[in-house]
Structure 1
């Protein structure tokens, strides 16, 4: 069977009108081009004015097309800059996090350095230092208040020696091993420290309560006029603690008791200074022999 003949444009009315208008536009364009060529040849001034008018009319459209083209051309650069800026932001955030970690470490080191400097000044001012050691643990959540010191009798630490920090008294050595010792803290119920009030020298007794605070009792029961903020220091009585070691400040006064807060909190620092006992117990005298040599 033979293939059907190709359809002519006249088969469709739409195709006919399209072909017709195409010829019309082609002829009109040719006539306009010929007229413009003739006008430019024989009357250049009029052609220049017409060209300027056409430019004024088509300027907004040209501007819009130029802006669209510029936006399209700059799209790859904008996308590249977006990802570049995003990557740079991530790098800067990482640098900020790293710097924050360094700042935190620097602050911690600065605090530790200040504590060590205060402790070294205390060590230099103390005439009988024994050892400087680290408090490795403390029983802050128990009614019994102890701390472990990483120094023992090999370092010269013995029971009965006072332990202090940069700002004041911590307690005393309860028992000592070869390289560790147990410290009885001021807040322990068995801790009793003779103190005096700095503003007038009033003697008193500071005893632990088991909750981290001290109970102050004046030696002269008739004089109990403690005020908030009164500073208490060791009096030197008793032979263990030397005089003028800061101990606590008065917090409040009730009807029967005076509460004070120790100046040194074992959980807040690392190192402590062990001192010799102020008046060590004298050795018992040897009995005299009645036999004559």
Structure 2
């Protein structure tokens, strides 16, 4: 059905009110526009003041709309920036992990270099060095305390030779093979080392406990008092260990027998020096055969 060309309001009051309101607004707009035009022509200062007053009223609304518009427009940038930052954080965490591994490796190398330099210095100023070798394994958690040295009879290592590191005395060679040797550590229950206190020369014995520590026992008399931090070095008595090698440090106050921590810690064993015994045993003397005895 074709639309009607009749534009009369008819009997609809809503339509009539709408048309009437439109006319009123149009006339009011025209009147206001004419008044503003006349005001701007004949009284520019007043028109400027009115314009600024209207601007003051509409500025907060404009500001709010502009802020909302910028916030909505920034949403895509915020989302893209978030994903970019997340990816960048992932890359940085990967670099941090790689750098941490490199740092740990560098620290290990620096630690080994310090100990090797100390060992080389010790070897250069120590007489009677047989060989410098690596301690490839140890038993710090069992009742018996041994270490394995990767040098044996082919390198001149013999049973009874003292073994020391850059920190102090480690023990003595117990058994030897062609290219390996078994070392009895100071903390082994079968280990006994004559020692003396550095501050007054008090003689004592460092006996292994089997738990990673040693007992310092007085050999002079009773009621000998020990203080925490007292240092003990080898005394040279017995002819095996050279005098002056650091052995142990007292952990607690006591008398007669106290616990002490060895300077050479089994967990840090890496390289060691094998020395000749301080007073090596003389070679066995063959019995003299009487004259005329059969050969």
Task: Work out whether the TM-score is over 0.5.
Answer: yes
After superposition, the C-alpha distances for 1:19-67 in whole angstroms (9 at most, x for unaligned) are 4323332332233334433444455454444334333333333333343
* Distance in 2 (alpha carbons) for counterparts of 1:61 and 1:222: 97
Residue in structure 2 matched with residue 232 of structure 1 by the alignment: 232
Whether 1:187 and 2:210 are equivalent positions in the alignment is no
Task: Note if contact 2:223-2:255 (Cα within 8 Å) is conserved in structure 1.
Answer: no
Tell me the residue number matched to 2:215: 215
Map residues 10-159 of structure 1 onto 2, 5 A cutoff. Answer: 10=10, 13-41=13-41, 43-159=43-159
Question: Which residues of structure 1 form unaligned runs of 5+?
Answer: none
Q: SS of 1:201's equivalent? A: coil
Gaps of 5+ in 2: none
Shift in Å at residue 162 of structure 1?
0.9
What secondary structure sits across from 1:283 in the alignment? coil
Following superposition, the deviation at residue 183 of structure 1 comes to: 0.8
| Residues 165 and 39 (structure 1), Cα distance of their counterparts in 2 relative to 1, 3 Å cut | same
CA contact (8 A) 1:228 1:251 kept: yes
Q: Distance in 2 between matches of 1:81 and 1:115?
A: 50
Moved over 6 A (4+): 4-9
Instruction: Give 2:203's aligned residue.
Output: 203
What count of residue pairs does the alignment treat as equivalent? 290
Contact residue 135 and residue 266 of structure 1 kept, 8 A = no
Secondary structure of 1:65's match?
A: helix
TM-score for both structures, normalised by structure 1: 0.82
Could you tell me the TM-score, scaled by structure 2's length? 0.81
| Contact 2:223 2:256 (C-alpha < 8 Å) held by counterparts | no
CA RMSD, 1 decimal: 3.2
Task: Give the CA deviation at 1:136.
Answer: 2.3
**C-alpha separation between the residues in 2 aligned to 1:38 and 1:230?**
108
